[in-house]
Amino acid sequence: MCQLLGINTSTPTDIRSPFQVFSRRGGDTDCHAHGWGICMYDGLNNTPQSYHDSDPAAESALVKSLLRSDVPVETMNMVSHIRYATRGEVKLENVHPFQRELWGVQWCFAHNGDVSCFDKAHFSPDRLYNPMGATDSEAIFCAILNALGARFDTLPSKSVLHDAIASLCDEI
């Protein structure tokens, strides 16, 4: 199974130390060597910065570049994923977190585990969101966004959005 690291704080926090420990699990101290990704929100306009690599995180030049910086890598909200491939090849389009725009907001999504009962066959070009890779995780993310986009014309309140997502997860 893949592994996730998330940070949600009330003040900007330098994520280099926890991310360094986490990234070593991507092929050095653990077997999760099938790519990695990170999505960090800047806290100003909720525009995420995303980095992805299909190389093992422990060997990735991009990880080394992020961690080598003399400038703190600060964020208030971050999700990172190291992949152990169970579905889909080891290639960049299958690396989490996935990112899409809905209602003018950039959403990031990462998932841990298999959802074997989810049927990806209902995706078609007329849907706004279709998976670019071959993972069940991205297919679920796209299905959630398609359902939310069909149900709400604009971004609903947090409580309404929470309830809608909970209901969709029950269906999945």
Active site members:
2
The answer for residues whose C-beta is within 8 angstroms of residue 83's C-beta and 6 or more apart is: 2, 26, 32, 34, 35, 36, 90, 94, 95, 96
At 11 the three-state DSSP class reads strand
Measure the CA–CA gap between 123 and 150, rounded to whole angstroms.
14
Measure the CA–CA gap between 61 and 58, rounded to whole angstroms.
9
* Dihedrals phi, psi of 19, to nearest 5 degrees: -70, -35
Are 87 and 136 in contact by the 8 Å Cβ rule? The answer is yes
Q: What is the DSSP string of 86-114?
A: SSS-SSGGGPSPEEEEETTEEEEE---S-
The answer for residues whose C-beta is within 8 angstroms of residue 94's C-beta and 6 or more apart is: 35, 54, 83, 85, 88, 133, 134, 135, 138
